[in-house]
Structure 1
Amino acid sequence: MSTRRDFLKLSLGAAAAALPGLHASGALAAPAPRVLRIGNQKGALSLLKGRGSLEQRLAPLGVSVTWTEFNAGPVQLEALNVGSIDFGDVGDAPPIFAQAAGAPLAYVAATLPRPRSEAVIVPGNSPLRDVADLKGKRVAFNRASNVHFFLVQLLRKHGLDYGDIRPVFLSPPDARAAFENGSIDAWVIWDPFYAAAQATLGARLLADATAVDGNRGFYFSSQNYARQNPDVLRIVVDEIAKTDEWGKTHRAEYAAELAKLWGLPAPIVQQAIDRTEFGTVTITKPILGEQQKIADTFHDLGLVPTRVDVLQAAAPGLV
């Protein structure tokens, strides 16, 4: 009789162990707490953080939120690669290099195209009047960045090759100094550096990215987190979209908040915001196709050692 009782206990224990959340006593265990670790730059995600609405919406799901601020997209993607964050925001170029390096990247959402937010600028008294005039000139830009791709596409559109210019690889602060002292002929840059150069250096627009490059921003996660937490990511994207919609109809207030974050004069930020297209969209195959063009261009330029298949970084469930 005792043998039968012992066998029954063992059988019940094995069954309980096979059921998630069920103790041997038969009681349901509390679900493990979930967390969303966000890595943000000083931008839209920072505004969302200040509102606290994301935490309120995720609380009923038992999800807590942590925030870590980064100064650049590549650093965020490295944090994703080593498992330190679950979500972040970035421009269009850094994900290409992160995927090439083996990061478990998953594209989750994107901004609308923002072509007027990046441009080729020249000094106000420059003799350059057209993109074709860049031939043989010293053009500064951030290597392997969004404007690197934009410049290549712009040159092609105007009948020039990348080899027709004299590239000068400079970070935005160094490029601004070179622009100011006249050691470069043109500067390819994005907002708010672009707006600041117009306001304080008298920079003149030669061409922006309209009809050349979409210049989207992206929101990313890891493949594992996206697979295991689609409900969390849907809420995050929805809250970002709400912040975007507010910014679209409250541009002055949006600019004022960013001016505080960036430490820039409000009129400069306002100029940048006035040419910003607001809107958040889910990832589609055509959007990843835009990224594929960037990846292929960088591979052709020798910036990416191997060909990147951007579709492999689609979040699980992309149709």
Structure 2
Amino acid sequence: MSELLQPCNVIMLFRDVELLCEAIKGGDGRLENYKNLVTLDIGLAPVVKRPPFQLKSPTAYFSSTKTQEELQAPFRKSFRDMPRVTIGGTVDESLAQSARQDFARSKFEDVDSIIALWTAKKDEGTQLFKRGDDGCLKPWSKVRDEINEAFKSEAWARLVKQGGPSFVARVAELFYTTNLNIVAIGLKWLEEGDRDVLPGVRDAYGHLKSSTNEGYWGIAHSWKPSPAQETKSLFRYAKILRLSGESELVPFASATIDMLAYHNPDDATILEEKRKIKAWKRSVGPIDDSAFNAMMSGLNT
């Protein structure tokens, strides 16, 4: 990845700056410790001192504090945790210093603000889902990815110290329920025939299950899924098994849905899924369920 560290110069119009910011942020996924390794030197200035056919120099325009703030805005909005950034050119030094402080500041700075932001994003996805808008995946994925990013960052220890077990519990619930929602939209697409989403559905379900394990978040916390959330989780697990189409999973799907139907005899959605799993079981015919029986035997000993 050493080629990513070679210096380069980019001159561009302001209208394209947001695209540049997105490209720069993309380095997170390509180079470990990217933000601490990369140096950005941003210069704000006219490309030429006096454009052709223009009698007056644009210096006065660029000297405006309002203009300088507008030019810096995309960078200040895009970058956090990047201490190796300078900003110069036609810019007031106090504004440049303020921008540098913003760049170096962690976006995971205050426990209450990030919880509020993640909750709002999750709710945005939920409202889109209720309206039948498949765009719900984008805000849900952002919540999941940012929680993962915070958890893996140097800021996590500070956030835990600041917010304590109650903060971790709130993060744990958001992470669990957001992944549960991602599984739901994935299952919808899977049932509609999009087989490409199956790995993502399995991945999201694996994350939500792992996140309830003791010590997952590095600290004891009090949050556990409610019975209703556990029921949703098991129901979606049964659907994943059925929609995977793998015949060896029939016993697991059947056992899971039978248990849910036993405890929720009047739930029409569960009963409908039980009917579908039974139909799948009939279509598969006799199967070798020795692996399933061995697992159940081990659980009962």
TM class by shorter chain equals under 0.3
When normalised by structure 1's length, the TM-score is 0.21
Name the structure where strand makes up a greater proportion of residues: 1
Q: Of the two, which has the highest radius of gyration?
A: 2
Indicate the structure with greater helix content. 2
